[in-house]
Every structure is written in structure tokens, then in C-alpha cells.
Amino acid sequence: MRILLAEDDPLLGDGLQAGLRQLGFQVDWVRDGEAAQRELRAQDYVAAVLDLGLPRMDGLEVLASVRRAGVKLPVLVLTARDAVTDRIRGLDGGADDYVVKPVDLHELAARLRALVRRAHGQPQECLTAHGVVLDPAAREVRQAGLPVALSTREFDLLHALMLNAGRVLSREQLEQQLYSWGQEVDSNAVEVHVHHLRRKLGNSLIQTVRGVGYTLVRSPAEPG
Amino acid sequence: MAKALHSLQGRLLMLVLGLVVGVWLATAAMTWWDVRHELDELLDAHLAQAAALLVVQQAREIEEGDHEIDSPTLHRYAPKVAFQVFHEGRLALRSANAPDWPMAAPGQRLQAGFRTVAIDGIAWRVFATHGAERDVQVYVGEQVSSRDSILHAVLRSTLWPMAVALPLLALAAGWAVYWGIAPLRRLGRALAQRAPHALHPLTLDGAPSEMTPMLEALNGLFARIAALMASERQFTADAAHELRTPIAAIRAQAQVALGEADDARRRHALLATLQGCDRAAHLIEQLLTLSRLEAGSAPALVLLDLSALVRAVVADIAPRALQKQQTIELDAADGCQVQGDAALLAVLVRNLVDNAVRYGPAKAIVTVVVARQPSCVLLKVEDSGPGMTESELQRLGERLFRVLGSGEGGSGLGWSIVKRVAAAHLATAHVTRSVALGGLRVEIRWPAILSAAPSMRQAT
């Protein structure tokens, strides 16, 4: 899952980026409000962690501006402003969650997973499709009750497809989900990962829509 | 007694009763003196008149025959009065209680007039006189004690009502004082009933005008304490707010270090954790400085050499600037004296120079100037750092505003500290864009000390 982190404090930003990476997120880190606004509008993130006291543009302004531009991704505000009025302003201003510093990295990750899950209309903790169960918190995939060993990229790819079950995702969209800035992306990386997933989980799970991308067809038993 | 004096009611009561008793006693003493005087005059006159009568009577009786007569006792007071009539040295007439010998001082010749003599141990007031031909001598005496008993009777009748009235007066005065100081008791009760942290003004219905200054002073004190507590609360809130980010950073980095398998990355996270601790410590120091400044205690100002002080601070910070390959220059004129508190001014200068070095990139230039100007002493710190935009300059000094995005963690408290230290020294602080170097230019101006000799140096 690729998220945007907007935090101007170098030490905290560095820590959050490293910590969230450990917990399976791809993290792009920007240090001011203008950059945050630009990246949120340009790129396809599953969620954003937004500090409010950002230079050049306040976090709340960033939020209002991207919401006006129709960006729907879940945004978690992480700030030192703890007054109730601040929380209300933040949530009413378009934030999906409001967390006061300091925060436990695991809690932050769990909140982000919950936000992503809800944003995709998935009330359950685990994603299920065609007998494949994906547990985002444990980063575990089981098929017919048996664990399936997946690489980080394979897991992220499957996670993205399962979250967006029933939608076709382009190769670029999937790449964006898999790689953060500064990471080398092979031109056929997505194809390679899809190939591996099919080998491990069977051919019928992920379908190719020629010229468009990949999709995971909802199993008939799945709700929605 | 001492306890009664510590109570207002006791003091008032003792004062009132003491004064009343004093005035009464003085009145009684004056009455006694006056009555005795009048009594003496009246009774002496009676003695004299009685003597005159006796002289006249004796003169007539001499012609009728000469014989000694004892006059009868006609009144119960009569034993206290006595008379003697001598004719040619012989006792001619006397009262029953009078002695045979003349009621004059023993061995003395008759002297006309009043005197007090002792007869058988009793004091007598005696009037002596003689006839025109000096053959008749008359003594009329009266016991002094009889006069005293009249005097005492008169005084008793004056003092008795007073003695009876005194306890009643004490009760009445006690009641009056009790009700008189009732507003004080009400105030005491109102204060005792207040919640320990209540700081709203105290209102007392029907408080007498004498208590208004006290109430006003008390309410003024409450207001000052409330302001102080509000400022303390604000400080606590600000401190908590300011400390959240560094602590969040420490926590995140420590957690990263815990979960990191790669040695190099774990080491990086641990170093970052340490760095975060240093930053939090520095921040706490800044917050405490600010808190002390806001507590409002005016610093003790002494005449000190600003140039020497700035030189010491720059020398202290220079190694860090050199580490960043920055150029730091000081141009300090001699004789730049200001009234100030050395420790606070060092904090101010350190904040300015440290700020320039900290936020300046590698190879930046920092210049520090101390100069005397005709009307002021100037400290100027300029740098070639990133500077600030107009809106950032405007927001500077809002308590929680930081100069952000510089890659250096800062709290934004530095400028607040500089401004408050400057204000405590009656100095002005201005921050603008540096024309010469492109970064920030901060100027602090102290009013010139009038007594100092005018300097010929002119800052450029």
C-alpha cells in the first residue's frame, strides 16, 4: 500500500517513513504543504498521513484544496494540535481520522489499514476472494486454509487487486501502488508479479483485460 | 490579655471601656477636689461666724458675771464640733467635748485664723479669734473627719451609679462592637467558604466604605493571580504542544530501531533517537527560559559591555559554524555599553547567532555587528541563509510559529525569547530581509546611556 506522508519535522518524518515501511507500506515523504497538495492530486495513493503545521501551506488548507479537487483518498491527520476544537475542525475539514502526536507506529499502521479498508467498502478485517483470504495486518495470505508464501511486492499487488475487486487497474496504477519514490521499477515488473501470483494461487484469480490492465472478479459469494 | 489584643473586638472593647473608666475617674477626682474646696470654704465660714458670735456674746456676759458654763449637746453631730471661750486667760465657756486648755498648738500664743491641730490624736480644724480688747479668746473647732465623711458621702453618690453602670456599659459596648465589625466577619466567612482555586472577584453586599480599599486590593490580587495562572496554563499547554513533535519523533525512531533487522538502518534510527532527545532537551531549556521571562520578574540591570558579551557568545558558537563550513564574522566596536542582565542578554545573542548558524546552509555567511549610534547601541545579526517570505516574517513571533522546512528541527520559541528579553531591556527588535546577504537581518537597539561619554564612532 502506497501512502503519502506530509511531515515537516525531519526526525519525525524519517522515523515515520522507516517505521511504516517496516510495517509494509510504501511511503512517499513530502515536507511542505504545497508538495503535499501537488502529490495528492497527481498520484494515486491509498491513504495519506498529513501533519497540520506544514510550511508554505497549512495542512488544513491542503486538505480543503484536494477535497475540492475531488481527491477521495482517506486522510489521517497526525498533529500536535490536541484541542477539541482543532479535532473538530480537522475532521470537518475532510480528515478521516485525527491522531495526536506522539503515536505508536503499529497503531498508526492499523488506523491506516482500517481507513483503506473502509474507503474500499470492506467492513471485514480480512479480504476474501475465490477462497483466497488476505490478512492486511498480519500480511498473510491463505488459500483453502493453508498459508501461501508471497513476496512483499506480490502481497501488495494482490492486496491492491482485492481491495479494488471488480475494478480494472492499469499497469501504471498498480506500479504506483507497489513502488515509492526512488525505487527502481522494471518495465515488466507488474507482469512478473502477476505471473508469480497466478503460479502460486491459480490462474483463475487474476484476469487480464487486454490493453487495459488487470482485475480480480468478485466471487459470487462476496457481498457488494 | 495578649489574646484579647489580637482580636479586633477585644481591642475595641478594652479601648472603649478603658477610656470610659478613665474619664469617670477623672470626673470623680475633679468633683472631689471641687467639693472639698467648696465644703472647706463653707464650713470655715461657719466656724468663723460661730466664733464671732461667741466673742460678741462673751463681751456681754462679762458684764453680767463671770462663770464657766458647759453648753448642752443638741445634735448628734455636736460632738464633732467644739468651742472654747477664754476670758483673761481663764476658760469661761466651752462645749462638752472641748478640752480645758486652748485648742491651739501647745505652747503657742493665740494666733487669729484657721489651723489644723491634733487633740487626743484627732485632727481638728480650729478657728481662733479674740475680742477687740484682747481679753476674750475664742476657739471654735471641728473634727476634720466630719468634713471627710461629707466629702465621701458626696463622692459615693457620684461613683455608685458609675460602678453600677460600668458592667451595663461593657455589655452595650460589646454588643455595639460586635455588630460594628460584622462586615469583617462576613468577609472572613466569604473567604473561608471560597473554593481553594476560586479567583473570581469577591463581592460583599453592603460592605462599609472603610473596607472598600481592602476588597479592591484583594480583588486586584485575585486578578493578578488569575492572570498568572492563565499564563502558566497557557505555558503548560504550549509546552505540551511543542514537545509532542520531538517526542513523537523519538518514539517513532526508537520503534523503528526495535523493529529493524538491518544493522546500518538500526544504527541510523538509534542516532536519530539520540538526536531527538537532544532536541527535546534544548526545547525544554528554551521553554523554561521563556517561562521565566513571562513570569514577569524584572531583571536586575547593570552596566555591561555588550561587545565583550557578544564576542564570548560568537566564540562559543563559531566552531559549529565552521563545522558547517560557514563564515562567521564579528565587528564589535569598543565602549558599547548597555544596561542589562548578562545572563539574559547572552540568551538573546545566542538565540540570534545560533538561529543564523542553525538555519543557514553549508558555506553560508553570518555577520554580527555591535556598534554605537548617536541615539542607541545596535546589535545586528545578518545571514545569507534561506531567509523568510513576507508572510513568514509577519507570522514570526506568533508563539508557535516555526521557521519551517529548513531541515533543522526548531521550536520557533527563539524569536519569542529574543523579543521578551529585548522588551525587558527596553530594547527594540526588528527582523527584515538582509539586503547585503540575502537572508535574515535582525537588529536589536538599546537606548543610549545618557551618562556615558558621547562616542565619536559612527556605525556604518
- Residue A68 in domain: yes
Same domain, A31 and A91: yes
Average pLDDT, integer, range B274-295: 82
Is the predicted pLDDT of residue B398 greater than 70, yes or no?
no
Residue A152 domain flag? yes
Q: Do A53 and B402 touch (CB under 8 A)?
A: yes
Do A111 and A6 sit in the same domain of this protein?
Answer: yes
Tell whether A20 is covered by a domain: yes
Q: Are B381 and B436 in contact (CB under 8 A)?
A: no
Domain boundaries, chain B: 2-167, 210-288, 299-447
Q: Tell me whether residues B405 and A8 touch, CB distance under 8 A.
A: yes
Query: Which of B238, B244, B390 best tests the A interface by mutation, with the highest count of A CBs <10 A?
Result: B244
Asked whether residue A1 carries a pLDDT value surpassing 90, the answer given is no
Q: With 80 as the cut, is the pLDDT of residue B426 above it?
A: yes
Residue A183: predicted pLDDT: 81
Instruction: Kindly determine whether residue B252 and residue A16, on different chains, have CB atoms separated by under 8 Å.
Output: yes
CB atoms within 10 A of CB B133: 9
Question: B63 pLDDT exceeds 70?
Answer: no
Cα of A49 to nearest chain B Cα, Å: 14
pLDDT computed for residue A93 by the predictor? 92
Put simply, the answer to whether B259 touches A53 (Cβ < 8 Å) is no
- The DSSP 8-state label assigned to residue A183 in this structure reads -
Kindly state whether residue A224 falls inside one of the protein's structural domains: no
Residues A13 and A103 in one domain: yes
Q: Do A12 and B248 touch (CB under 8 A)?
A: yes
pLDDT band at A219 (very low <50, low <70, confident <90, very high): low
A10 closest CB neighbour out of B244, B247, B407: B407
Check whether B132 has a pLDDT greater than 80.
no
Flag if B269 and A18 touch (Cβ within 8 Å): yes
pLDDT for the residue B407:
40
DSSP assignment string, B91-119 = EEEEETTS-SS-SSSTT-----EEEEEEE
Region B85-97 average pLDDT: 81
Which chain B residues touch A8 with a CB distance below 8 Å?
404-405
Half-sphere exposure of A34 (CA within 13 A, CB side): 4
The answer on A8 and A99 residing in a single domain is: yes
Determine, for residues B256 and A19 on separate chains, whether the beta-carbon distance falls below 8 Å: yes
The CATH number of residue A192's host domain is 1.10.10.10
CATH of the domain at A25: 3.40.50.2300
pLDDT score of B406: 39
Residue with cell 455588630: B179
Quick check: A67 pLDDT over 90? yes
Please judge whether A103 and B244 are an interchain contact, meaning their C-beta atoms are less than 8 angstroms apart. Answer: no
- The Cα–Cα gap between A10 and A6 comes to 11
Closest CA to B141 of B114, B112, B106: B114
Across A82-91, A119-128, B154-163, B350-359, the highest mean pLDDT is recorded for: A82-91
Q: Which residue of B has its CA nearest to A103?
A: B248
Chain B environment of A23 (Cβ under 8 Å): 259
pLDDT band, residue A77 (cuts 50/70/90): very high
What ipTM describes this predicted complex?
A: 0.79
Contact status of B269 with chain A (Cβ, < 8 Å) = yes
Select the residue from A31, A100, A105, A139 to test the B interface by mutation, using most B Cβ atoms within 10 A. A105
Same domain, A90 and A132: no
B272 vs A54: CB contact, 8 Å cut-off? no
Cβ atoms A134, A159 nearer than 8 A: yes
Q: Distance from A34 to chain B by nearest Cα, in Å?
A: 12
Instruction: Tell me how far CA of residue A118 lies from CA of A40, A69, A126, A127, B144, in angstroms.
Output: 19, 21, 12, 12, 124
Q: What is the 3-state secondary structure (H, E, C) of chain B?
A: CHHHHHCHHHHHHHHHHHHHHHHHHHHHHHHHHHHHHHHHHHHHHHHHHHHHHHHHHHHHHHHHCCCCEEECCCCCCHHHEEEEEEECCEEEEEECCCCCCCCCCCCCCCCCEEEEEEECCEEEEEEEEECCCCCEEEEEEEEHHHHHHHHHHHHHHHHHHHHHHHHHHHHHHHHHHHHHCHHHHHHHHHHHHCCCCCCCCCCCCCCCHHHHHHHHHHHHHHHHHHHHHHHHHHHHHHHHHHHHHHHHHHHHHHHHHHHCCCHHHHHHHHHHHHHHHHHHHHHHHHHHHHHHHHCCCCCCCEEEEHHHHHHHHHHHHHHHHHHCCCEEEEEECCCCEEEECHHHHHHHHHHHHHHHHHHCCCCCEEEEEEEEECCEEEEEEEECCCCCCHHHHHHECECCCCCCCCCCCCCCHHHHHHHHHHHHCCCEEEEEECCCCCCEEEEEEEECCCCCCCCCCCCC
What percent of chain B has a predicted confidence (pLDDT) above 70?
86
Please tell me the distance from the alpha carbon of residue B136 to that of residue B62, in angstroms, as a whole number.
Answer: 10
Residues A95 and A8 grouped into a single domain: yes
Whole-number Cα distances in Å, A141 to A38, A200, B30: 35, 11, 120
Average pLDDT, chain B: 81
3-state secondary structure of A43: coil
Shared-domain flag, residues A16 and A109: yes
Lowest pLDDT segment from B184-193, B258-267, B296-305? B296-305
Per-residue model confidence as pLDDT tens digits over A29-65: 999 999 999 999 988 899 999 998 888 888 999 999 9
Comparing B300 with A132, the larger pLDDT belongs to A132
pLDDT for position B297:
64
- What's the mean pLDDT in B359-368? 88
The CA-CA-CA angle for residues B405, B411, B413, to 5°, reads 125
Which pLDDT value is given to residue B270? 94
pLDDT band at B93 (very low <50, low <70, confident <90, very high): confident
Selected residues 400-459 of chain B with any CB under 8 Å from a CB in chain A: 400, 402, 404-405, 407-409
Question: How many independent structural domains does chain A possess?
Answer: 2
B276 touches chain A (CB under 8 A): yes
Among the partner-chain residues B260, B279, B405, the one whose CB lies closest to the CB of A56 is B405
Q: Which residues have CB under 8 Å from B32's CB, separation 6+?
A: B151, B155
Enumerate the residues of chain B whose CB falls inside 8 A of the CB of residue A11: 246, 249-250, 253, 272, 275-276, 279, 409
Q: Is B275 on the interface with A (CB under 8 A)?
A: yes
Provide the 10 A C-beta neighbour count for residue B64.
7
Contact A11 B249 (CB under 8 A): yes
Q: B255 CA to chain A: closest CA distance, Å?
A: 7
Q: How far apart are CA B412 and CA B398, in angstroms?
A: 9
In chain A, residues with a C-beta closer than 8 Å to the C-beta of B393 are none
Q: What is the pLDDT of residues B178-207, one digit of tens each?
A: 998 888 888 888 888 888 888 888 888 878
Measured between CA atoms, the residue of chain A closest to residue B276 is A11
pLDDT(B460) > 50? no
- Residues of A engaging B, defined by a Cβ cutoff of 8 Å: 8-12, 14-16, 18-19, 22-23, 31-32, 53-56, 78, 80-82, 100-106
Is A155 inside any structural domain? Answer: yes
Q: 462476496: which residue's cell?
A: A222
Chain A closest-CA separation from residue B198 CA (Å): 24
| Of A55-59, B24-28, B53-57, minimum mean pLDDT range | B53-57
User: Would residue A222 count as lying in a domain?
Assistant: no
Please tell me the predicted confidence (pLDDT) of residue B54.
82
Using a CB-CB cut-off of 8 Å, the residues of chain A touching B400 are 53
Question: Using the 8-state DSSP alphabet, how is residue B440 labeled?
Answer: E
A75 shares a domain with A16 = yes
Poorest-pLDDT segment among A32-46, B196-210, B350-364, B385-399 = B385-399
Note down the domain range covering A63. Answer: 2-119
Rounded distance between C-alpha atoms, residue B377 and residue B452, angstroms? 12
Beta bridge partners of B84: B94, B139
pLDDT for residue B409: 47
Probe site for chain A from B398, B404, B411 (most A CB atoms < 10 A): B404
A102/B269 touch (CB, cutoff 8 Å), yes or no: no
User: Which CATH architecture is the domain B210-288 placed in?
Assistant: Orthogonal Bundle (1.10)
CA separation for the pair A193, A156 (Å, rounded): 10
Q: Give the range among A98-102, B200-204, B439-443 with minimum mean pLDDT.
A: B200-204
Q: What percentage of residues in chain A have a pLDDT greater than 90?
A: 55
CA B448-B452-B456 angle, 5° bins: 80
At which of A67, A87, A119 does a domain end? A119
Answer yes or no: do A18 and B256 touch at CB < 8 A: yes
**Taking CB atoms and an 8 Å cutoff, what residues of chain B touch A102?**
244, 247-248, 250-252
With CB atoms and an 8 Å threshold, state whether B246 touches A11: yes
Is residue B357 predicted with pLDDT exceeding 80?
Answer: yes
Cβ A43 vs Cβ A67: under 8 Å: no
C-alpha cell at B152: 465621701
CB atoms B405 and A103 under 8 Å: no
In terms of Cβ atoms closer than 10 Å to its own Cβ (0-12, 13-18, 19+), residue A43 is: middle
Q: Is residue A8 domain-shared with residue A113, that is, in the same domain?
A: yes
User: Is residue A223 one of the residues assigned to a domain?
Assistant: no
Is A161 found in the same domain as A105?
no
Interchain pair B241, A81: CB under 8 A = yes
What was the pLDDT predicted at A37? Answer: 94
CA angle B138, B141, B147 (to 5 degrees): 155
Does A113 lie in the same domain as A131?
Answer: no
Same domain, A83 and A148: no
pLDDT band of A94, cuts 50, 70, 90: very high
Boundary residue ending a domain (A93, A119, A145): A119
Grid cell digits, residue B51: 466664733
Confidence at B240, pLDDT banded by 50, 70, 90: confident
Interface contact flag, B252 A22, Cβ < 8 Å: no
Q: What percent of chain B has pLDDT over 90?
A: 13
Last residue of a domain, one of A119, A142, A172: A119
Closest partner residue to B255 (CB to CB) among A9, A14, A19 is A19
CA distance A217 to chain B (A): 36
* Residue A59 included in any domain: yes
CB pair distance less than 8 Å for A102 and B251 = yes
State which CATH number among 3.10.20.30, 3.30.590.10, 3.30.565.10, 3.40.30.160 fits the domain covering B299-447. Answer: 3.30.565.10
Amino acid (1-letter code) at residue A148: V
Query: Residue B147: which pLDDT band, with cuts at 50, 70 and 90?
Result: confident
